Structure 1
Amino acid sequence: MKPLELVIITGMSGAGKTVAMQSFEDMGYYTVDNLPPSLLPTFMQLIQESGQVNRVALVIDLRSYDFFEEIEKELTQLSRNANLFVRILFLDAQDQELVSRYKESRRSHPLAVGGRLIDGIQLEREKLKAIKHRANDYFNTSNLTPRQFREKLIKKYKDDESLASFYINVLSFGFKHGMPLDADIVMDVRFLPNPHYVEELREKTGLDSEVYNYVMQQPETEEFYKRFSRLLEYIVPGYKREGRSNLTIAIGCTGGQHRSVALAERVSGKLGVDGYQVNVSHRDINRRKESTVRS
């Protein structure tokens, strides 16, 4: 039985724990923010008993009032669990950078309430010495953009069993039912010949071979597919480089049953062959036709 992996994210306030937590979530970790150290053993026991989670990332920091008193004791107890693999990720940044980030966000430091910001930062640094020395991994984020920091975390922690750090959703839909709100790229294929006007195809969908072949055999479809594929080959890597965790490509026809379905299937297949993690769905494929008018 593979041990449950636990990553404890801690370190200086303002050093990037929020970005780290979001990155671990995108990698498939079960994440919890601001868990009191005293609840660690109980929480991990519940996770292990559930049997449904194998990777956990927890942010534990100064917002937990008992942080300094409890964290060492609880970590020692967890280290005795043979079915638990614990790693501590410590995030740091230079004092000047932390001051700049706090002033930019207009937040107050948890240890500088009513006092100077730099005094709170230095006090926190002193109190975190023990946990810093115990950390397995250390990142100084002073000169890293959020995207660069995210890339380093993914390179360090992602393995073959985790969820893909970048995945693509290909969605077919019908314009008559409204555009999808979460689409990043929307392609309108209502200019293609419509199988609705072929009586024997009208009640079928783009998942049926007869409809799929009809759509793909049209010269207009083949030309469109070639051009759209080249566009995706150019722009999708850019989305990935910018640190996006997912991309939604929506392809729409009038009713969302024929042309968009067939093309979503073909496009998703091509992206899969290109090495991307792809999910394809057909939002309106089972809707009853509400009108006989098709454009």
Structure 2
Amino acid sequence: MEFVIVTGLSGAGKSRAINALEDIGFFCMDNIPPKLVSKVVELCLQSNDSISKMAMVIDTRGGTLFNGFFEGLEDLKQQGCEYKILFLNCQDVVLENRYKETRRRHPLADETNGSVERAIERERELLHPIYERADYTIDTSYLSPAQLKERITNLFLGDVSKGMVIHCMSFGFKYGIPNEADLMFDVRCLPNPFYIDELKHKTGLDAPVRDYVLEWDSTKGFVKRLLDMVDYMIPLYANEGKSQLVIAIGCTGGKHRSVTIADLLCQHLLDKGRRVTVNHRDINKR
């Protein structure tokens, strides 16, 4: 059975993540106390229903029950049950704004006398050991709900046991860097189509922009070295047992150069037989 544990900061999008997993065939359960996880898995395995994919949300809403998180994982290990941990992260200021907009109550509000800022800080401390052990991390700070669903779908639609998943991402530095990036490359040094009137309002997915970016010797030299470096480093990460590798390509606005290079990198890795997804985080931003 393919088993995914979804956890992370409150307000980071775990509910949307579990909905996305349900849409691609996972049997999903929310807010499960860690000590009950092995019992629930055992019941599912013994049931007559054929459950091949399961996902559970485990987070700090469980109060003191959450303290048994690693004990619950140890029980799973003793059962011989393989699992992956998906951790949803988010920047503090974004989380604070989300709580202000939704007026939801933070699970640790009582512990911090109602201070959302201190509740987020305290939750981050509690979750740090789990963050360190996570197989997959997604920073939702600048992702729309649709983009998060796409990331989840691309990540888990295939069999997660079949090798490392490589995620190529384009982004704009003006909107903030992606915290989950393992490798990050700055392509602001390449010729910028933004200053060409007929290209300004197109994106790196459009052939005229792509051709403009790739026609320069500076770009050709960069691409050759980028592909050589990535091809060299991927086996090193895989040998370390890494489940996910996030490669972020950034330009100023995330619409032209970074999109072209990220797309090119994705196609190169697909041609190499790698499991690859691509996401253009800021392509629709103005």
TM bin, normalised by shorter chain, reads 0.5 to 0.7
| Alpha-carbon contact 2:34-2:66 (below 8 Å) kept | no
Distance across 1 between alignment mates of 2:92 and 2:63: 23
Equivalent in 20, 23, 27 of residue 17 of structure 2: 20
Partner of 1:98: 95
Distance across 2 between alignment mates of 1:125 and 1:133: 12
Identity percentage over the alignment? 39
Within 5 Å, give how 1:211-222 maps onto structure 2.
Answer: none
Larger Rg: 1
Within 5 Å, give how 1:106-255 maps onto structure 2.
Answer: 106-113=103-110, 114-159=113-158
Shift of 1:110: 1.2
Partner of 1:70: 68
Distance across 2 between alignment mates of 1:75 and 1:66: 16
Amino acid at match of 1:151: E
Structure 1: runs of 5+ lacking an equivalent: 162-295
Shift of 1:50: 1.4
Task: Give the match's secondary structure for 2:51.
Answer: coil
- Relative to the length of structure 2, the TM-score reads 0.53
What is the CA deviation profile of residues 112-171 of structure 1, one whole-angstrom value per residue up to 9, with x for unaligned ones? 23331100000000011111111110000000000001001111100279xxxxxxxxxx
Amino acid at match of 2:60: L
Distance across 1 between alignment mates of 2:4 and 2:159: 17
Task: Give the match's secondary structure for 1:128.
Answer: helix
Partner of 1:290: none
Structure 2: runs of 5+ lacking an equivalent: 161-286
Partner of 1:277: none
The alpha-carbon distance between structure 1 residues 111 and 63, as it changes in their structure 2 partners (threshold 3 A), is same
What is the CA deviation profile of residues 84-121 of structure 1, one whole-angstrom value per residue up to 9, with x for unaligned ones? 22000000100000001011100111112333110000
| Alpha-carbon contact 1:93-1:142 (below 8 Å) kept | yes
Distance across 2 between alignment mates of 1:88 and 1:160: 14
1:57 aligns with 2:47: no
Equivalent in 8, 29, 34 of residue 31 of structure 2: 34
- Relative to the length of structure 1, the TM-score reads 0.51
Partner of 1:48: 45
Task: Give the match's secondary structure for 2:84.
Answer: strand
Shift of 1:25: 0.3
Shift of 1:67: 4.1
Distance across 1 between alignment mates of 2:52 and 2:102: 35
The alpha-carbon distance between structure 1 residues 9 and 118, as it changes in their structure 2 partners (threshold 3 A), is same
Distance across 2 between alignment mates of 1:123 and 1:160: 35
What is the CA deviation profile of residues 26-49 of structure 1, one whole-angstrom value per residue up to 9, with x for unaligned ones? 000000011111111110100111
Distance across 1 between alignment mates of 2:65 and 2:20: 23
| Alpha-carbon contact 2:84-2:135 (below 8 Å) kept | yes
The alpha-carbon distance between structure 1 residues 41 and 56, as it changes in their structure 2 partners (threshold 3 A), is same
Shift of 1:73: 0.7
Distance across 1 between alignment mates of 2:42 and 2:5: 16
Task: Give the match's secondary structure for 2:79.
Answer: coil
Amino acid at match of 1:49: Q
Shift of 1:54: 1.0
User: Aligned residues, how many?
Assistant: 157
Amino acid at match of 1:70: G
Distance across 2 between alignment mates of 1:118 and 1:146: 23
Task: Give the match's secondary structure for 2:62.
Answer: coil
